[in-house]
Structure 1
Amino acid sequence: MRRRLLASMLLVAVIAVLLLGVPLGVVVVRLINDEAAQELHSEANRLLIGVEYSISQQQPISPEQLARNYPDRYLQVYVRGNPPIIAGTPPPEARDLTEEARSENGYVRVSRDSAQVQRETRARLVLIIALAIAALGAAIGLATVTSRRLSLPLQDLTRIAERLGSGDARPSRHRYGVPELDLVAEVLDRSALRISDLLAREREFATDASHQLRTPLTGLTMRLEEIVAAAGQPEVVREEGEAAIVQVERLTAVIDELLAAARRQRHAQAGPLDVDDVVGQQIVEWEPAFRRAHRSLVLAGDRGLRALGTTGGLSQVLATLLENSLKHGDGVLTINTSSAGKSVVIEVGDEGPGIPEALGQRVFERNVSGSGGTGLGLTLARALVAADGGRLELVKRRPATFAIFLRHDRDNERRRVVSGPA
């Protein structure tokens, strides 16, 4: 591309020099010749006037004096009644340049050698050619600088585009001082940011999927272990098998939730749900694991509450809180459901040592864990609740108590029941 730009600019420069230089040379040659002819004609007129004046005063005309007055000229004077007067050396016929002046009494001719005029003409033409060469040199330098200024940014933009194609989505932030190239660079930077965002979302989705699928798989594993342990009790086997099927269905729902979240469609899926059904399902799933850990689950608060959200999302959030309590908490785990103003509140708390003071609210930050975990569970849980239009908060650090705030469905009647074991 640089060669094409350089060649095109040089061609334009050469055409411009020719269009200007050739007419200028022709005009200069004509001006020099015309000037020489006018000078001879003026000299012939002056000579004629002087000769007529000398004759009228009856003064002698000396050829030597005329030669001194008009050096490098060949003079011929013809006056009626007087002999011709010749002064100077005649120029070669091939280079003769002659002008004459006439009157009633006679005429004079003034000739000169045109070699001096030709030398002057050649000097002017050489000057014009030198200026043309200088102009072409300046054009070459300007074309080189301009082609370099245009081609180097294009090469840089090509490297940026290749880098984007290879997956390196860092914006370059380069600007080149050329509006069109700067616009292309800005578009590439915006594309790099979008690609970077897409890649980050893909990585987050893969991480979130692996983490979120682990909880249902853990529940399914527990159910299968119950089936193996109760191999001699058909009723228990059947019951645990049905629970395992529920876990598989929940695993399918988790996959759907993750795909919907990746497409940014979860908020549109939120609808009325029965809080008791979701909480009861989680208690049934996690009760065997808590029983093996010699811990118990207690359900307290209002019954018959309805909230806006997604069953899969709320199930995943509760499963995350229950799993965290099973791993890091202690004592009785209490799930308390209540209605507060415009929100339905689900509190999950146990009797364990709680969250370290240094950790505090940072438990919701991505990749932050105080016990060697992945640091993703609470981050994803808060994101799922937010996607349903609610929020997840740490309301008490010791013992750890988390609260899920969901939007209220006010068309449902609420009734109060006494707390008791699940």
Structure 2
Amino acid sequence: MRERLTVAFVLLVVVVLLVAGVVRAFTLRDLVEEREAATLDRTAQLVAVMVGNAERAGDPVTTTILQPLAVDRTAITVDREGLPRVLVTGAGYETADRASDTVGRETVGQTMVTVRQSSTVIDDIFGRNVGALAALLLMLLLFAGAVGFLLAGYLSRPFVALAESATALGRGRFDLELPKSSIPEAATIAASLRASSVRLEDSIKRDRAFFHHASHVLRTPLTGIRLELEELSLRPDLADDVRRTATRCVGEVQRLDAVVDDLLDFTRGRSLVAGAEITLAALGSRIAQHWRDELPETVEVRAYVDGGGDARLTPGPVEQVLDHVLADVASTAAGPVSLRFAGQAQHVRIRIEGGLPRNGTKPGDPSEIDPAQAMVEALGGRLSGDVLSESGVEILLPRR
């Protein structure tokens, strides 16, 4: 996103600079032509004064007098009534194409002085000015690129953070670190993601409550009914047809109990976020790399998959739980840290050993892992142990 915003900003500046440059180029050429025309008019005035002084003094007006005034690529013509034309040309003046020349004239009495300048003079002056203008536009373009890169980074930063939060939510995490931005669109997206994370957390809690409630409300009555029917079928004074009916009812109750077990197992095994599952081996590798990045370089992190590496599960809840444990490990451990992952039929077992404690560090208060404990319990798992204890921390989570 940052690159696209930078390119868009630079393209906008290029368009603006091109329009401004073209307008400035036309204006510059007009200014050069006006300035050169004014210079030629002053030259014509000077020549006219010199011719008038020469005539009053009785001196002939020759090319020798006028030649010093004919600078490079200019021609001076003096027309007087009854006298031959006097013409002098400067070096480089071409008489082939006089229609495009810049002309300055001055008339004094019966004397008309015309000063012509080749159009190549204006072309050269304009070319030099256009080169400077192009260099200025290039500098402005580079400056605009740098400003655009910084501005694009500022504008895209909250959206990049929102994209990362949305990805985390898609992995099943709801402890989102949402950016605070004054951009209305970013604030709206952040509010939507926050609401979605709250709904996801509530959904997990409702599912957990449903498991407990369904297990108690459905299984307990069914077990009571089955025991009553079995006891009834064992009575010696019971008629044969009643005993057969009671026996069939026991079978139906057992079948219904099996159906309840299947439904609960299906609900318990249902993915928390469909399509977000990864293997336990890939998750262990990702978590181990994250711990290596977060812990000091002096703390070695070792990761092992003791079995069930191909088991698939939603990564977000596991990452969220282990982030809480990581905070405790980062504040206490000074030695190597080992992470052991094991996939089982219905659960994932994770063991964390914090290694050697820092000097003077004592095992922490169990309340320090309350966030992780609460998260594990909300997921229907169990957390036990302490990071600095010999046995470490053991986490048992459902494979959802």
Q: TM-score, structure 2 length as denominator? A: 0.47
Q: TM-score, structure 1 length as denominator? A: 0.45
Structure ID, larger Rg? 1
